[in-house]
Structure 1
Amino acid sequence: MVKEAVEEAKKQAEETNAEAADEDVTKENPETDSEAETEQEAEEKKEKKSFFKKKNKKDPKDEKIEDLTDKLTRQMAEFDNYRKRTEKEKSAMYEIGAKDIIEKILPVIDNFERGFQSVDEEKRKDPFVDGMDKVYKQLMKTLEDAGVKQIEALGQEFNPDFHNAVMHVEDEEAGENIVVEEFQKGYMYRESVVRHSMVKVAN
Structure 2
Amino acid sequence: MDKDKEEVLENIMEELEQEAKDKEKAAEETPVEEAAAKEPSEASEEAEGTEEDKKKGLFGKKEKKNPLQEKVDELNDKVLRQMAEFENFRKRTDKEKAQQFELGQSNVLEKLLPIVDNFERGLAAVPEAEKDGAFADGMNKIYKQLMTELENLGVTPIEAVGKEFDPNFHNAVMQVESSEYESGIVAQELQKGYMFHDTVLRHSMVGVTP
Aligned partners of 1:70 and 1:86: how far apart in 2?
Answer: 24
Match of 2:28 in 1: none
Gap change, CA 1:155 and 1:54, over 3 Å in 2: closer
Q: 1:94 aligns to what?
A: 101
CA deviation map 1:2-39 (0-9, x unaligned): xxxxxxxxxxxxxxxxxxxxxxxxxxxx98xxx9xx9x
Q: Provide the residue aligned with 2:171 in structure 1.
A: 164
SS at match of 1:108: helix
> Aligned letter for 1:199?
V
- Calculate the TM-score normalised by the size of structure 2: 0.70
1:98-177 residue pairs with structure 2 within 5 A? 98-177=105-184
CA distance in 2 between partners of 1:163 and 1:55 (Å) = 71
Distance 1:54 1:193 in 2: 65
Local SS of the residue matching 2:136: helix
Kindly state the Cα deviation for residue 127 of structure 1 after the two structures are TM-superposed.
Answer: 0.5
Tell me how many residue pairs correspond in the alignment: 160
Structure 2 CA distance for partners of 1:166 and 1:54, relative to 1, 3 Å? closer
Mapped to 1, the partners of 2:151 and 2:130 lie a distance apart of 28
Runs of at least 5 residues in structure 2 that lack an aligned partner in the other structure = 1-36
- For structure 1, which runs of at least 5 residues remain unmatched after alignment? 1-29
SS of 1:56's partner is: coil
**Which residue pairs with 2:86 in the alignment?**
79
Q: SS at 2:74's partner residue?
A: helix
Cα offset, 1:145, TM superposition: 0.9
For 1:62 and 1:168, the matched residues in 2 are separated by 79
Q: Deviations over 1:148-197 (max 9, x none)?
A: 10000011100111000000134343212100000000001111010000
Q: Distance in 1 between matches of 2:159 and 2:105?
A: 21
Superposition CA RMSD, Å: 2.4
Match of 1:178 in 2: 185
Alignment-mate amino acid for residue 122 of structure 1 = A
On the 8 A contact 2:178/2:187 being kept in 1, the answer is: no
Q: How many Å separate the matches in 2 of 1:63 and 1:88?
A: 38
Find runs of 4+ consecutive structure 1 residues off by over 6 angstroms: none
Identity between Structure 1 and Structure 2 (%): 54
Q: Which residue of 2 aligns with 1:188?
A: 195
